[in-house]
Amino acid sequence: MNGAPALAAVEIDGLEIGVGTGAGGRTLVRGLSLHMRPGEVWCVLGANGAGKSTLLHTLIGLHRATAGTIRLAGRPLDAWPVEAAARVRGFLPQFIHDTFGASVLDIVLMGRHPHVSRWHWEGDADRDAARTALAALGLALLAERDITTLSGGERQRVAIAALLAQDPGILLLDEPINHLDLHHQIVVLQHLAELARDRDKAVLFSIHDLNLARRFATHALILQDGGVVRHGPVAAVMNAPALSAAFGYPVLEARVGARTVFIAE
């Protein structure tokens, strides 16, 4: 991007996040301040229970912060009407449950609801957006399949396709490559990186694979015990000491060709 810096897609100032109360309470995030801008891809890293999902839930308003402020596109999170917020930011949860059958295309079309008037049905443009999203994830041939007949990995890609069809400026994804084979992990993360680079989307996702995070993210946010959060460009914050501290296990750093890779000791 050229010229002046872009308006921050997400502004976080003095954010504190906790769970539980009294003696059983824990602080997951303490004093976090950062600006996430269009064109950036942020990965969220940390051990199980460190607060990755809770952080994402806080950023979309499903979990109330203990302190601090969150702004989306320059506007306080609480000031966004629900439908307007859905046109600005989209969220992929970690777990998805289907309670009834429907075609894959109809499931992906649900991502278009924020753009459809209350008194209208989806139009040709909405169906084109849904089919484009399916094609991007290699699902075009499954458009008429019943969602309940898909494998776990196929279902996960359909959920991501619905988020792509929603077309928000800010994409928040909780472990998007869960259940995916290696090929489709690369396809999904590469597409998210391309959306950020080519369409000025702001992307944030939680992930356990350190090497895929390092390969596709531009920035990292690492959750450690006691609410400590390291964040910044991946080259600055993703290193063996920081990752070893976050995961409580020795991590080694090496070079393979032009890439930095991490391996457990």
For the chain, which domains are there? 10-95+168-264 (3.40.50.300)
The residue assigned the tokens 């950023």 is 59
pLDDT digit string (tens) for 8-36? 899 999 999 998 777 678 899 999 999 99
Q: What is the 3-state secondary structure (H, E, C) of the chain?
A: CCCCCCCCCEEEEEEEEEECCHHHCEEEEEEEEEEECCCCEEEEECCCCCCHHHHHHHHCCCCCCCEEEEEECCEEHHHCCHHHHHHHEEEECCCCCCCCCCEHHHHHHHHHHHHCCCCCCCCHHHHHHHHHHHHHCCCHHHCCCEHHHCCHHHHHHHHHHHHHHHCCCEEEECCCCCCCCHHHHHHHHHHHHHHHHHHCCEEEEECCCHHHHHHHCCEEEEECHHHCEEEEEHHHHCCHHHHHHHHCCCEEEEEECCEEEEEEC
Which residues, listed in sequence order, are joined to residue 222 by a DSSP beta bridge? 45, 230
Q: 99 with 137: CB under 8 angstroms?
A: no
> Would you state the pLDDT for residue 135?
97
| Distance of alpha carbon 220 from alpha carbon 215, whole angstroms | 11
Give 43-84 pLDDT, tens digit per residue: 999 999 999 999 999 999 999 999 999 999 999 999 999 889
pLDDT at residue 6 in the model: 57
Q: Give the least confident one: 5-19, 38-52, 112-126.
A: 112-126
Q: What is the CA radius of gyration of the chain?
A: 19
CA 4 to each of CA 13, 73, 130, 142, 175: distance values in angstroms, whole numbers, following the listed order: 22, 16, 34, 43, 33
- In the numeric block, the tokens 């070079």 are attached to 255
Q: What's the pTM value of the predicted model, to 2 decimals?
A: 0.93
* Distance of alpha carbon 103 from alpha carbon 89, whole angstroms: 25
Per-residue pLDDT tens digits for 167-211: 999 999 999 999 999 999 999 999 999 999 999 999 999 999 999
Q: Is 230 a residue whose pLDDT tops 90?
A: yes
Q: What percent of the chain has pLDDT over 70?
A: 95
